[in-house]
Amino acid sequence: MEFPVCVGVLALQGSYREHMTCLRKTGVQTVVEIKKPNQLEGIDGLIIPGGESTTMALVAHRWGLIDALREFAASGKPIWGTCAGLIFLAEDGEGMKAGGQELLGGLHVTVQRNFFGSQIDSFEATLTASAALGSDDDQPPRFRALFIRAPAIISAKPSVEVLAEWVIPEEERAKAGRDKVIVAVREGRLMATAFHPELTDDYRWHKFFAKMCMEEATRADPTKAFDADTIPFTENVHSVDLPVFSQTHFCALDKK
């Protein structure tokens, strides 16, 4: 069964093609690139992908997208930000570049840019997610998370639902000043992840977002009603055009 919705992916810079492929594999009926304000019309949800957050903000401003994106967010339609997209959605940020950058806001969290270090500190980890993500058994869902020059959420208001956390290794806690950070959240129709689900062949995060889009579309138009629980987990099947990785491993390099 498909998700009969149209999901847009902000296609200014970053891993937007990977997101589009994952959405198609998940069964989303229509997936479109978003580069102009008028392309936001008629979509049921939007993904803001990973990339370089300052560059994306500058391009979005130059192309007249900032106000249109804010209007889209105010409409109540679902938005999912990954990595740089998380920074875009945050109400507040630390470690931003001098002069600041445009933020859409709406997600009541404080995000720390580049919390996990620079590009060479990229790594992957197996984490536990909220039961809302879904699993094939009765155990808490586990998933593979790829962190690439990633931000982290260092505080969140009570209205924010925490979907996943990363426990900081004991030897790094004193420097970080905390035991753990939040890496996935949902607040209303906004969702954000510090990691890159689009670079793996686990499509549960994309299915989770597609269900959010479907639920909102159904509320707005009851003729789209469906039973999300009848949609099975998408099998991890590769094709020649699937730009995701199942065996690649990232590791942090010692800086000397």
Q: How far is CA 39 from the centre of its chain?
A: 20
Give the rounded distance of the alpha carbon of 186 from its chain centre.
Answer: 10
Locate 90 and state its tokens. Answer: 């945050």
CA pseudo-torsion sign 10, 197, 58, 155: positive
Place of tokens 């060479």: 120
The string of DSSP letters for 17-73 reads: HHHHHHHHHHTEEEEEEE-SGGGGTT-SEEEE-SS-HHHHHHHHHHTT-HHHHHHHH
Active site residue 196: yes
Task: Kindly state the tokens that stand for 134.
Answer: 């879904």
Tokens of 141: 């869902």
Query: Hey, which residues does 156 pair with through a beta bridge?
Result: 109
How deeply is 72 buried, as exposed, middle or buried, from its count of CB atoms within 10 A (0-12, 13-18, 19+)? Answer: buried
Residue 42 falls in which region: left (phi positive, over 0), alpha (psi -120 to 50) or beta: left
Q: Where are the alpha helices (DSSP H) in 107-181?
A: 173-176
Catalytically annotated residue among 22, 83, 108, 213: 83
Catalytic residue among 18, 198, 213, 216: 198
Per the annotation, the verdict on 165 as an active-site residue is no
Catalytic residue, chosen from 22, 124, 187, 196, is 196
Question: How are beta strands 142-147 and 123-128 bridged, if at all?
Answer: antiparallel
Residues serving a catalytic function are: 83, 196, 198
